[in-house]
Structure 1
């Protein structure tokens, strides 16, 4: 799987800077940037500030707010200088992404209040692609970034957007900058970083559609697994994520989570939902562990944490789990997590239904 990292930030910067450098002799202040209310100059300054802010978040790693600083250009800085600042702040973000451990997260408000290095890289790439487009449109320049970069951004921070006919027009549509046949215009939008659920010894980290596709096809999904992982159930659950994404039904908080062991950052299993809650507020949960991780209480710990977080939501009234009747260890997991045995699952004597109510 192609990871979203510092190389992608650098690739996006190179693509945008090459184009905009052709127009540094023009007046960017007197021209609006595409559909934005900002001028091309104001948009370029915003882009540089965003890249610096993301680098600062990864370097400082605050958990509750942005690091309180901003970017001010020297008086008299011309358009060539502005472009140099964009390249410099982008290089700082690229370096921060490369040197930040994978499991580290820092504050970002949308929508789960944190992001990891891949999330900040994806947001930085999105800022570069979209605002280069805005400036280029204002200056009358044609711009189309590498399709693979656009696909990376869509599958990592726009998981709620179903794939379109091509990645770049889909990204423009998803951010209110273009139209797609058969889809209503977008007037409000946010990107989505992956959700995380903390537990005592584990962190449950949401799986993006890109990572899910890699897992489903036999890869590692960008995670470092213990011996024997991921187990087959995790790969099957990843396939459900891919199908939901392609059908436009995927919601990050109702997908697959990988269980990351805090002591060494290695993945030990998967846990997640079969979909969003039904009309009665019921959601079904499933899980599995690599064989080498069993017998340590990881599944019980993860299920308790996920259930507690999920049952805080007003749209959830109950969680349910269906376990094979002869799988006594799995039945013990749901029982220890507080689920009640409800009897045969849908009349199937080979399976047992369990439920945990709010």
Structure 2
């Protein structure tokens, strides 16, 4: 899997600059940018400002707020000069992405209050693509970015959007800029950086559809794994994430997380949910570790952290895990994490009404 980074930013900015330079002699101040309230000039300056802001977040790495600065154009800067600034800010963000370690995260408000270098790169590309579209629409220009760039954006920060046959049209629909057959128009939209949950020795890093597709296909999903990883169960779980995404029912906080050691940034296993909580607030979890990571308490630590996060929410009342009767190590993990065997009556009901395999034992933990 290719991480979203400097090359994609350069491609997006180059495509934007080519279109905007061709119209630099036009009136950008007096024309609105597509469906926005901003003029084309304001929108172009906004592109540059976003790229600089994201570069600043990665450089300063604040945890709680935006770095308090802004970008100001010199008096007399013409439209061609604004394009120069967009190219320069794109290069700055690309450099910040390139020099930022993979595990670093910085503040971004939606939805989980942080983003990685890939997240900021993806948001930067998205700002360039969408607002170049807005300006082009206002000026009556033709603009369509590469499909691969649009797919990369959708599979990283629009995990809740069911993919369509045309990635550019899907991205426009997902951001309230167009229509798709069979889907209601959107008037509000938000993108979604991946969720990261911290524990003492690990970070539980949410897996994007892009990473899930790579893991399912035999890749590393963008993670650096210890020897022997990822385990086959991780690849199977990635397939579940991918299936949910393709069906338009994936919810990133109820998907899959890779367990990454703080000490060396290496992935040791995965865990996650089998879907969002049901109407009664119940959700199922599963987990596995690479063989070389077993015996160090990582699974117990991760399950405790995930359970604490989930049970602190109002929409979760109970977590459960179904474990093979012969898998005593996994039963020990789930027990140490605060789960207990359910009563025989509850287990029998699960067998009969919910199709629970009779070779499995049911454990639960309530909020």
> Normalised by the size of structure 1, how large is the TM-score?
0.99
Contact 1:325 1:349 in 2 (8 A): no
Question: Residue 183 of structure 2: SS of its match in structure 1?
Answer: coil
Partner of 1:213: 213
Partner of 1:284: 284
Give the Å deviation of 1:165: 2.1
Partner of 2:294: 294
Instruction: State the alpha-carbon separation in 2 of the partners of residues 6 and 271 from structure 1.
Output: 30
Work out whether 1:86 is the aligned partner of 2:95: no
Any idea what the Cα deviations from partners look like across 1:132-152, whole Å, max 9, x if unmatched?
101111111100000000000
Work out whether 1:234 is the aligned partner of 2:221: no
Partner of 1:352: 361
Contact 1:9 1:121 in 2 (8 A): yes
Question: Residue 102 of structure 2: SS of its match in structure 1?
Answer: coil
Instruction: State the alpha-carbon separation in 2 of the partners of residues 85 and 260 from structure 1.
Output: 38
Question: Residue 23 of structure 1: SS of its match in structure 2?
Answer: coil
The runs of 5 or more residues in structure 1 that have no matched partner are: none
Instruction: State the alpha-carbon separation in 2 of the partners of residues 351 and 129 from structure 1.
Output: 49
Give the Å deviation of 1:26: 1.0
Instruction: State the alpha-carbon separation in 2 of the partners of residues 210 and 349 from structure 1.
Output: 35
Partner of 2:112: 112
Give the Å deviation of 1:245: 0.3
Q: What do you get for the CA RMSD once the two structures are aligned?
A: 0.8
> Normalised by the size of structure 2, how large is the TM-score?
0.96
Instruction: State the alpha-carbon separation in 1 of the partners of residues 114 and 316 from structure 2.
Output: 23
Any idea what the Cα deviations from partners look like across 1:60-100, whole Å, max 9, x if unmatched?
00000000000000011000111111111111000000110
Instruction: State the alpha-carbon separation in 1 of the partners of residues 156 and 102 from structure 2.
Output: 15
Question: Residue 224 of structure 2: SS of its match in structure 1?
Answer: coil
The runs of 5 or more residues in structure 2 that have no matched partner are: 352-356
Give the Å deviation of 1:349: 4.1
Instruction: State the alpha-carbon separation in 1 of the partners of residues 169 and 333 from structure 2.
Output: 46
Instruction: State the alpha-carbon separation in 1 of the partners of residues 189 and 165 from structure 2.
Output: 20
Partner of 2:354: none
Any idea what the Cα deviations from partners look like across 1:256-290, whole Å, max 9, x if unmatched?
00000000000000000000001110000000000
